[in-house]
Structure 1
Amino acid sequence: MPLTTTPVTDLRAAFSPVDGYLDAATLGLPPRASADALREALDAWQSGRADAAAYDAAVRRSRAAYARLVGVPVEHVAVGSQASSLVGVVAAGLPDGAEVVVVDGDFTSVVFPFLAHADRGVRVRHVPLDRLADEVRPGTDLVAFSLVQSRDGRVADADAVCAAAAAVGARTLCDTTQAAGWFPVDASRFDVTVCSAYKWLCGPRGAAFLTVRPDVAATLRPLHAGWYAGADVWASVYGPDMTLAPDARRFDVSPAWLCWVGLAPALELLAAVDPREVRAHDARLADTLRARLGLRPTGSAIVVLPDATGSLRARLAEHGVRAAGRGGGVRLAFHVWCSEADVERAAEALVAAHAL
Structure 2
Amino acid sequence: MPATASPALAVHDRFAAGAGYLAACTQGLPTRETVAASRDDVERWSSGAASPADYDEAIRRSRAAFAGLAGVGLDDIAIGSQVSVLAAVAAASAPDGSVILCAEGDFASVVAPFHAHAHRGVRVRHAPLSGLADAIDADTWLVAFSVVQSATGEHADVEAVLAACARTGTLSFADLTQALGWLPVDASRFDLTVTHAYKWLCAPRGSAFLTVRDGVRDTLLPVQAGWYAGEDPWASCYGPLRAPARSARRFDVSPAWPVWPGTAAALEFFAALDPLAVLAHDTGLGDRFAEATGLAARGRAIHTWPDPDGADLAALTAAGLRASGRAGRARVAFHVWNTEDDVDRAVAALAR
Please indicate the TM-score interval, normalised by the length of the shorter structure: over 0.9
In structure 2, the partner of 1:3 is: none
Q: State TM-score, norm by structure 1.
A: 0.95
Match of 2:110 in 1: 110
1:81-96 equivalences under 5 Å are: 81-96=81-96
Change in CA separation of 1:87 and 1:36 when aligned onto 2, cut-off 3 Å: same
CA displacement 1:96-137 (0-9 Å, x = unmatched):
111111100000111000100111111111100110101111
Query: Would the aligned equivalents of 1:17 and 1:338 in 2 still touch at CA under 8 Å?
Result: no
Task: Give the secondary structure class of the aligned counterpart of 1:257.
Answer: coil
State the distance in 1 between where 2:271 and 2:223 align: 30
Instruction: Look up the equivalent residue of 1:125 and give its one-letter code.
Output: R
Q: How far 1:56 moved relative to its partner?
A: 1.3
Q: Give me the whole-angstrom Cα distance separating, in 2, the residues matched to 1:314 and 1:262.
A: 32
Higher mean alpha-carbon deviation, 231-240 vs 125-134, is at 231-240
Deviation of residue 13 (structure 1)? 3.3
Deviation at 1:297, TM superposition (A): 4.2
2:74 matched residue in structure 1:
74
Contact 1:11-1:269 within 8 A present in 2 as well = no
- Quote how far apart the aligned CAs of 1:298 are: 1.6
Counterparts in 2 of 1:219-258, with a 5 A limit?
219-240=219-240, 242-258=242-258
The equivalent residue for 2:301 is 301
1:323 is aligned to 2:323: yes
Give 2:172's aligned residue: 172
SS of corresponding position for 2:211: strand
Structure 2 CA distance for partners of 1:234 and 1:328, relative to 1, 3 Å: same
1:1-356 → structure 2 map (5 Å cutoff): 8-240=8-240, 242-352=242-352
Change (3 A) 1:119 1:9: same
Q: CA deviation at 1:233?
A: 1.3
Deviations 1:282-341 (A, max 9, x none): 111111011111223421100112110011111111101101110101100111111111
Deviation larger for 9-18 or 211-220: 9-18
Q: CA deviation at 1:46?
A: 0.7
* Contact map agreement 1:19 1:320 (CA 8 A) in 2: no
1:261 Cα deviation after fit? 1.1
8 Å CA contact 2:197, 2:208 repeated in 1 = yes
Q: Distance in 2 between matches of 1:326 and 1:241?
A: 42
TM-score by length of 2: 0.96
Q: Is the 8 A contact 1:8 1:336 kept in 2?
A: no
> Alignment partner of 1:126: what SS?
strand
1:218: Cα distance to partner? 0.6
- Which string of whole-angstrom CA distances, capped at 9 and with x for unpartnered residues, describes residues 199-251 of structure 1? 00101111100000111111111111111111011111122552111000000
CA distance in 2, matches of 1:242, 1:14: 45
Query: How many residues get paired?
Result: 347
Asked if the contact 2:227/2:241 (under 8 Å) is kept, the reply is: no
Distance, in Å, in 1 between the alignment partners of 2:173 and 2:208 is: 15
CA RMSD, 1 decimal: 1.3
Whole-angstrom distance in 2 between the partners of 1:207 and 1:149: 20
Q: Which amino acid aligns with 2:51?
A: D
CA shift digits 1:12-37 (9 cap, x unpaired): 43222332100000100001000011
**Percent same amino acid at aligned positions?**
54
Q: Is the Cα–Cα contact under 8 Å of residues 226 and 241 in structure 2 kept in the other structure?
A: no
TM-superposition CA deviations, 1:128-161 (whole Å, max 9, x none):
0110101111211111000000011111111110
Partner SS, residue 195 of structure 1: strand
Q: Tell whether the 8 Å contact from 2:192 to 2:213 is kept in structure 1 after alignment.
A: yes
SS of the residue aligned with 1:350? helix
The AA in structure 2 aligned to 1:41 is D
Structure 1 distance, partners of 2:75, 2:242, is: 20
Aligned AA for 2:122? V
| Structure 2 residue identity aligned to 1:212 | V
Residues in 1 aligned to 2:223 and 2:341: alpha-carbon distance in whole angstroms: 47
Instruction: Tell me which amino acid in the other structure corresponds to 2:79.
Output: V
Question: Which ranges in structure 2 are unaligned for 5 or more consecutive residues?
Answer: 1-5
Q: Which amino acid aligns with 1:21?
A: Y
1: CA distance, partners of 2:28 / 2:166: 35
Matched residue type, 1:248: A
